[in-house]
Amino acid sequence: MSRYLITSAIPYINGIKHLGNLVGSQLPADLYARYLRQRGHEVMFLCATDEHGTPAELAAAKAQQPVAEYCAEMHKVQKGLSDGFRLSFDKFGRSSSPQNRELTQHFAGRLYDAGLIEEVTERQVYSQDDGRFLPDRYIEGTCPNCGYDKARGDQCENCTKQLDPTDLIDPKSAISGSTELEVRETKHLYLRQSAMRDELNAWIDEKADWPVLTTSIAKKWLNDGDGLRDRGITRDLDWGVPVKRGDAPWPGMEGKVFYVWFDAPIEYIASAREWAEEKGLDDAAWQRWWRTDKGAEDVRYVQFMGKDNVPFHTLSFPATIMGSGEPWKLVDYIKSFNYLNYDGGQFSTSQGRGVFMDQALSILPADYWRWWLLSHAPESGDAEFTWENFQQSVNKDLADVLGNFVSRVTKFCRSKFGTEIPSGGSYGQAETDLIEELTRRVRAYETHMDNIDIRKAAMELRATWVAGNEYLQSTAPWAAYKEDPDRAAAIVRLSLNLIRVYAVLSHPFIPDAADQMLAAMHCADDSWPDDIAAALDVLPAGHAFDVPDVLFRKITDDERDDWQARFSGVRD
């Protein structure tokens, strides 16, 4: 048994996330965590809400709520939706937690002592109409690199280029829309990332197994232009982690908070600490996941995120950990994703275009979405959600292949043999061939899951479902029953056992349906099918079963057309 630490990108607190956000980090991370647990590994799966910075303040102002109250409310909403999608976090924390505040201030003190933080007097945008300095994300304008007209003052989400607010063309306040902006002097703390460029470069060079998408983005940020730049880690805001050097005040930094991208990744560590404290465990319980001097040297740490988050997790967060000089665990593998687009365009939170997590669960159960999103994960390039493709995938993969197999086998057995697994008959060449094919496909499925090749794993899983249907069709127990009931009994006995195997294999992708299949088989044995022949003999003759409700219903053309129209406009 090995130990795996898994984290997914921390979602902003500002509202409900769309399906593109979900498939870009949390959902594939959950798939991997579920699979590893099934294989007997020890897993710590962590995430949290990112509650500081501009998005939180703007969203709270729009909701006419105090920002702390808004964040507490939205954390409950996001946690509820993650539960609805069956995301199996060990802890879904909050970046506003006391644990994160303490750890953030601790890291800042360590970095300062190491000479990696310096005070810089900078010229920052001040809004006369708003009466305040505007942090990067409070400023919007046109990207000078790609021309995207909604670029933020820290980064263009379209081309991912790192920006300063003064780089933007036609900048305006994201609070009021005012263009009455001027540049004034203010003092901030900067993390001297440039001083760690060689160390970060060497570290990334060691990661030969990382996806090309991950390393190419990291290298671009490291080597383009002037290379890795020093970045401000404080902002003139009220809401956030107060700037302190450990427990001590930071002279000249009164009234300032740490920049959200400095404190948010530290919440990964804080979440483990929150988890331990909630369970009444001591520091050793969480430190064994995060401190290499406390046992974490044996942990494999895997992160999941969209490509826009890659620079911060390949450079800024590692710079924080390395620069502290303390034995914190660094990430071993970063699984990054391209974008999921929506029906000929882009998902848009601001415009409400696309399907959001709450809307998705209001029209169909989680497994329908989990299957489509994971089987179409944007790994090698951007992917696109269309209602036609979604309907086709649900109807053909889930209803016609998996659901149909379960329904045909259980209903036929009930009609001819009752609701106990029949005895009699023996296996022949058809069963030998099926076992050989399933063995080959399950081993391939395991390889793809181990390598986090999600679309390939989904294709192999579906192929196992198809193999069962083809076996059933070729052996035709309904015809065999007329001439040789014992032969029909043997076919049905193996097929009912195959339902249990399908439940186990499918659990990481569609956990609710998997649980439904196991319940129908009156079976709590969810052991992994290392030996397919043995796995197809777990449920003996005489074992009772139920005919389950329809696992997956088909999506009608009218539903498809209605949803396509409903989710193309502006969200209320």
Annotated ligand binding at 349? The verdict is yes
Assigned token pair, 386:
């269309």
Is there a contact between 14 and 59 (Cβ–Cβ < 8 Å)? Answer: yes
Tell me whether residue 522 is in a domain. yes
Note whether 313 and 421 are same-domain residues: no
Tell me whether residue 236 is in a domain. no
Note whether 557 and 417 are same-domain residues: yes
Q: Measured on CA atoms in the order 154, 159, 161, 163, is the torsion positive or negative?
A: negative
Tell me whether residue 566 is in a domain. yes
Annotated ligand binding at 156? The verdict is yes
Annotated ligand binding at 413? The verdict is no
Per-residue pLDDT of the chain (572 residues; tens, 9 = 90+): 899 999 999 999 998 999 999 999 999 999 999 999 999 999 999 999 999 987 788 889 889 999 999 999 999 999 999 999 999 999 999 999 999 999 999 999 999 999 999 999 988 888 888 877 887 778 999 999 999 998 988 888 888 888 888 889 999 988 788 888 888 888 999 999 999 999 999 999 999 999 999 999 999 888 875 568 899 999 888 899 999 998 899 999 998 999 988 999 999 999 999 999 999 999 999 999 999 999 999 999 999 999 999 998 999 999 999 999 999 999 999 999 999 999 888 887 767 789 999 999 999 999 999 999 999 999 999 999 999 999 999 999 999 999 999 999 999 999 999 999 999 999 999 999 999 999 999 999 999 999 999 999 999 999 999 999 999 999 999 999 999 999 999 999 999 999 999 999 999 999 999 999 999 999 999 999 999 999 999 999 999 999 999 999 999 999 999 999 998 765 44
End-to-end CA distance of the chain: 48
How confident is the model at residue 102, as a pLDDT?
Answer: 97
Note whether 223 and 328 are same-domain residues: yes
Note whether 386 and 290 are same-domain residues: no
How confident is the model at residue 161, as a pLDDT?
Answer: 83
Note whether 442 and 320 are same-domain residues: no
How many whole angstroms separate alpha carbon 522 and alpha carbon 525?
9
Residue 185: Cβ-neighbour burial (10 angstroms; 0-12, 13-18, 19+): exposed
Tell me whether residue 289 is in a domain. yes
How confident is the model at residue 316, as a pLDDT?
Answer: 92
Note whether 304 and 439 are same-domain residues: no
Tell me whether residue 305 is in a domain. yes
Residues facing residue 561 across a β-bridge = none
Last residue of a domain, one of 337, 370, 400: 337
Note whether 26 and 48 are same-domain residues: yes
How many whole angstroms separate alpha carbon 108 and alpha carbon 248?
11
Note whether 383 and 318 are same-domain residues: no
Annotated ligand binding at 71? The verdict is no
Note whether 454 and 392 are same-domain residues: yes
Instruction: Find the domain containing 353 and state its range.
Output: 344-572
Note whether 300 and 387 are same-domain residues: no
| CATH assignment at residue 401 | 1.10.730.10
Model-level pTM?
0.92
CA 182 to chain centre: 40
| CATH assignment at residue 50 | 3.40.50.620
Note whether 45 and 94 are same-domain residues: yes
Residues facing residue 93 across a β-bridge = 48
Last residue of a domain, one of 337, 369, 396: 337
**Cβ-proximal residues to 558 (8 Å cutoff; 6+ apart), any chain:** none
Annotated ligand binding at 159? The verdict is yes
Tell me whether residue 245 is in a domain. no
The 3-class SS string of 516-545 reads HHHHHCCCCCCCCCCCHHHHCCCCCCCCEC
Tell me whether residue 130 is in a domain. no
Q: How many structural domains are present in the chain?
A: 2
Last residue of a domain, one of 337, 364, 379: 337
Tell me whether residue 96 is in a domain. yes
Note whether 555 and 501 are same-domain residues: yes
How many whole angstroms separate alpha carbon 418 and alpha carbon 409?
12
